[in-house]
Structure 1
Amino acid sequence: MRKRKIDWKQTIFFIAGLALIVALTAGFIRIVEELNESEIKNFDSAVYSGVSSFTTEGMTEFMKGITFLGGVKWLTILTAVAVILFLVFKKYSLGLYVLFTVALGGGFNWLLKEYFKRQRPAIEALVEQDGYSFPSGHSMGSFIFYGALAFAVFRLYDHTWSKVLGAALLIFLVFLIGLSRVYLGVHYPSDILGGFTAGGVWLAFSILVYTFIKGARPWRKLSSE
């Protein structure tokens, strides 16, 4: 009986993915453990002081625009558009992947907020925002949506530099969204880090599940998804 050849690249990818999940989970747990400690409070205070020192009318309007790109309404619209386009072009599995990754990720964020119940910063915020503070929904949601979208694009196209550039721009956008939440005074910097790490865990997990189900290398362009 012919032995099945081991795909070492795929094996390494899954090992790296699991290692990333473990590392991000450990980072999230470390943040949680430090939430009420003086060290994280000093970190939050120092970062907020640095960010708020650049407050101007023009910068405030810019940050309001950036934070909108990570809001629930906008991400919901973009998710719907992306899913519809994937379905129209018969990329059914990618459409379902984006839909379930974003939707379940949003539910995951809600559960975390309800569990930790951290109050928002006791400062005069530049925008109105209700709900709990940790982890940041904007940071976690944008990390998951834009990350899932980047992964889908990686699956569809072969142009390496275009994919790298697109991923870099999306990473920068996610960073700006997180920064805008601190600038506007509605989140502690530790909320942002919590959102990024929790979002990273969920995104990495969803990618591993998708590639396992599809049984193909995540970097390979496929004719049918």
Structure 2
Amino acid sequence: MNKSISKRQSNTIIFAAIIFIVLTLLVVIHSKTFQTIDDQIQSCLRLPMSPKLTHVLLTITNLMGVSDSMIISIILVLLLAVTKHFNSAAFLMVNGLLLSYPINVGIKFLVNRPRPSLPHLAVVNSSSFPSGHSMVSIMVGGSLIFVLNKIISHQTTKFIVDCLICGFILLIGYSRIYLGVHYPSDVLAGFCLGLLIINITNVFFKRWNLL
């Protein structure tokens, strides 16, 4: 097994880290230009609004809330373990359960960005940056892509599964902006941080011959 990090994965780690750091700095220094751009993008992404769309997005976004996402992660870990994919189960457990929540809560506490002043269409109880739902969705979904790409041999099936998971992740991010509880930069930062972490853990799992 090749234990060395691939160029593609290395570039992904660097790219995600740079974007996350830049976004964090812009939020911390309270850049007015950055905030204006954030507000404008959010306004565009929230149109059009409708009661039916709001209901659908509330249902979807709740899947990556703390309780529901933990239940989903535990079920996926158990399914992998039952099918004797123990290393894959451990990889998903580390990312989806052990790392995602503590890291997100810690950064939220340090940055302490206020939520958007728009009416919130979902219940929120913490600060805004980075989006926890976005971060958890990419850490759970991204981990699932890593492990399923090793389990599934049929290329077409693999492609369809990857597209469905990626679509779900993007929909979670969009739902947070639409519901008025996150700025677009919160969502992007959550995606980048989650992507950074799962690629780093993937590197270590491969070096330890666990994936």
User: Is residue 79 from structure 1 mapped to residue 73 from structure 2 by the alignment?
Assistant: yes
Could you say which residue in structure 1 is the equivalent of 2:145? 150
Could you say which residue in structure 2 is the equivalent of 1:37? 31
Q: 2:14 aligns with which of 22, 36, 42?
A: 22
What secondary structure, in the 3-state scheme, does the structure 1 residue paired with 2:208 have?
A: helix
User: Is residue 192 from structure 1 mapped to residue 187 from structure 2 by the alignment?
Assistant: yes
TM-score, with normalisation over the residues of structure 1?
0.87
> How far apart in 2 are the matches of 1:127 and 1:86?
32
**CA shift for structure 1 position 69:** 2.1
Matches within 5 A, 1:1-225: 11=4, 13-35=5-27, 36-102=30-96, 103-214=98-209
TM-score, with normalisation over the residues of structure 2?
0.92
Number of corresponding residues: 208
In the alignment, structure 2 segments of 5+ residues that lack a partner are none
1:74-111 alpha-carbon deviations (Å, 9 max, x no partner): 21111111111122122111111111111212211111
The one-letter code of the counterpart of 1:169 is L
- Which contiguous aligned blocks of 4+ residues in structure 1 show a shift greater than 3 angstroms? none
**CA shift for structure 1 position 121:** 1.0
Identity %: 27
The one-letter code of the counterpart of 1:54 is P
1:57-82 alpha-carbon deviations (Å, 9 max, x no partner): 11110110121122122211111111
> How far apart in 2 are the matches of 1:152 and 1:86?
9
**CA shift for structure 1 position 132:** 1.0
> How far apart in 1 are the matches of 2:12 and 2:47?
34
Please identify, of 85-94 and 20-29, the stretch whose mean Cα deviation from structure 2 is larger: 85-94
